[in-house]
């Protein structure tokens, strides 16, 4: 089943100052998240953002806050799974979509636990592999295997963008293609 734009939500998990500075491939991850934010704005896909204990971990990184603009309304949490924070659950219920495009930090902790809880609650989690990161490569690799073994959909940024768009004849194609090539 292909991912549908009208049933998707981009969920940006904990891309915060202190975490960002210690994870692998952070520049690639951030570049891909920024692409996804731009595409979601064009395709009118809602964006939900979380921050893990911002008093201690800092706020969302500046570049992302700037790109999010009016979409920057972080949900503060202390739980690892976003689903264990009532504000997050209520926001998803309000939006009413079932496909969660999951990106952020750390893949093997907050992203993983959110994906598993999403499955258990009847959502379709899609972990966008090159828009996530962890501090240690072994955690990142083992988590990817666990996700796949638990039937969580795993994809890349480009896969998701073109799956959401569906057709090169879409009038938004050229604008989105520029974003992909950035």
The C-alpha atoms of residue 179 and residue 172 are separated, in whole angstroms, by: 11
Assessment of whether the complete model's pTM goes beyond 0.95? yes
Residues contacting 50, CB < 8 A, separation 6+: 11, 12, 13, 14, 74, 75, 76, 77, 82, 85, 88, 104, 110
Structural domains of the chain in order of their starting residue, each with its CATH number? 5-180 (3.40.50.850)
Q: Strand 47-52's sheet: what is its strand order?
A: 75-77, 47-52, 8-13, 99-105, 124-133, 153-155
Query: How many C-beta atoms surround the C-beta of residue 120 within 10 A?
Result: 10
Segment 141-150, tens digit of pLDDT: 999 999 999 9
Bridge partners (DSSP) of residue 76 are 51
- Reported as a pLDDT band with limits 50, 70 and 90, residue 109 is very high
Segment 47-68, tens digit of pLDDT: 999 999 999 999 999 999 999 9
- Report which DSSP code applies to 60: B
Helix count and strand count (H, E) for the chain: 9, 6
Residues contacting 22, CB < 8 A, separation 6+: 135
Q: Is the preceding peptide bond at 106 cis, omega within 30 degrees of 0?
A: yes
Phi, psi of 58 (to 5 degrees): 85, 175
Segment 120-146, tens digit of pLDDT: 999 999 999 999 999 999 999 999 999
**Inter-helix orientation angle 112-120/137-149, to 10°:** 10
Task: Return the pLDDT at 182.
Answer: 86
């Amino acid at each position: 089943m292909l991912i549908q734009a009208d049933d998707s939500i981009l969920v940006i998990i904990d891309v915060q100052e202190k975490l960002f500075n210690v994870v692998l491939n952070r520049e690639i991850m951030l570049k891909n998240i920024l692409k996804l934010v731009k595409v979601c704005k064009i395709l009118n896909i809602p964006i939900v953002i979380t921050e893990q204990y911002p008093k201690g971990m800092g706020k969302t990184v500046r570049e992302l806050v700037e790109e999010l603009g009016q979409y920057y309304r972080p949900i503060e949490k202390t739980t690892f799974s976003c689903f264990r924070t009532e504000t997050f659950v209520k926001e998803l219920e309000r939006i009413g979509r079932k496909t969660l495009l999951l990106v952020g930090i750390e893949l093997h902790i907050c992203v993983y636990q959110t994906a598993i809880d999403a499955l258990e609650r009847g959502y379709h989690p899609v972990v966008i592999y090159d828009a996530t990161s962890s501090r240690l490569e072994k955690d990142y690799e083992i988590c990817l295997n666990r996700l796949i073994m638990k039937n969580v959909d795993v994809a890349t940024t480009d896969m998701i963008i073109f799956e959401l768009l569906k057709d090169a004849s879409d009038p938004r194609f050229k604008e989105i293609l520029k974003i992909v090539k950035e």
